[in-house]
Amino acid sequence: MTEKAPIVTALIQGKDTKGIIATITSWIFDNGGNIVYLDQHTDPVEDMFFMRIRWDMDGFQVAREELDEEFGKVCWRLGMAHRLFFSDRRKRLAIMVSKQGHCLLDILYRWRSGQLEIDIPCIISNHEDLRDMAGYYNIPYHYLTVDKTSKPEQEAKVLEIFREMKVDTIILARYMQILTAKFVHAYRNSIINIHHSFLPAFVGANPYLQAFKRGVKIIGATSHYVTEELDQGPIIYQDVVTVTHRDNVETLKRKGQDIERVVLARAVSMHVENRVLIHNGKTVIFGG
């Protein structure tokens, strides 16, 4: 049985200029490619062009091992940066978690059911609470304690594990630790976090209690890439759910956890499907 040729996805960005789409699509056509998806966005304020294009490699005249270089020549002439991804190469996502398991369980279920086409080589935690959950899904669970004095040593161990496991993306599924700048730099634009949001000014301990006391009418969640500046990274996905005066602190927490699960899963899906471009701290999210 002949192995099916992969689909290649190209993400392209740079200063807007004439002929970008025509040049790239013509090059793909001239080399025997069948385009299966194309979307583009132009930012007139910053004069930037963004594009996501996918084509079938079946019968394509440029060899896979030469594709990045040859396609790069076309993009270079246009002043564009590019990245290529192949459909037969799954991303390897490590999950970091503390004690709360709702986001972890949701990601594991979506992975096991085939909704997320990824590999999960390991789970890292600073607590033992969720080891059984990892064991149920037969995923290695690494328990590494951490405090203010041991954080550099702990993060060095984590990074060593990630290198050995060839991890390319990290999910912070309610990992209640602030990562150091060195750690963030090692996985630039590849660490995805989830946190409660749309709770105006309710920071620190017991945000849902603060929200309840203020009588908020919406609660929500934000998933974003992690940067050195706490919770200020490029936003991937956000959503909200309405609440009323009939809600109490516990129902607010349950609704908050529900929306956190959905928002994180959608953000991870967008990243895994190579639908995200970043420019100046903002994201451009293309359709599926």
Give tens-digit pLDDT for 173-215.
999 999 999 999 999 999 999 988 754 456 666 788 888 888 8
Structure-block tokens of residue 43: 């930012």
Mean pLDDT score across all residues of the chain: 93
Q: How far is CA 35 from CA 17, 138, 166, 238, 274, in A?
A: 22, 38, 31, 31, 16
Q: What distance in Å separates the CA atoms of residue 152 and residue 10, rounded to the nearest whole number? A: 36
Domains in the chain: ranges and CATH: 7-86 (3.30.70.260), 91-285 (3.40.50.170)
Of the two residues 229 and 123, the one the predictor is more confident about is 123
Length of the chain: 288
Q: What is the pLDDT of residues 17-60, one digit of tens each?
A: 999 999 999 999 999 999 999 999 999 999 999 999 999 999 99
Catalytically annotated residues: 231
- The predicted structure's pLDDT at residue 103: 97
Which residue, 239, 237, 210, is CA-closest to 225? 237
Count CB atoms within 10 A of the CB of residue 17. 12
- Kindly give, in sequence order, each residue whose CB lies less than 8 Å from that of residue 170, ignoring residues fewer than 6 positions away: 93, 94, 95, 96, 162, 187, 190, 191, 192
71 pLDDT more than 90:
yes
Q: What is the pLDDT of residues 77-107, one digit of tens each?
A: 999 999 999 999 999 999 999 999 999 999 9
Which residue, 165, 160, 159, 169, is CA-closest to 93? 169
- The predicted structure's pLDDT at residue 229: 84
What share of the chain has pLDDT > 90, as a percent? 85
The two beta strands, 282-285 and 276-279, are antiparallel
Q: With 0-12 CB in 10 A as exposed, 13-18 as middle and 19+ as buried, what is 30?
A: exposed
Q: Does residue 180 sit in helix, strand or coil?
A: coil
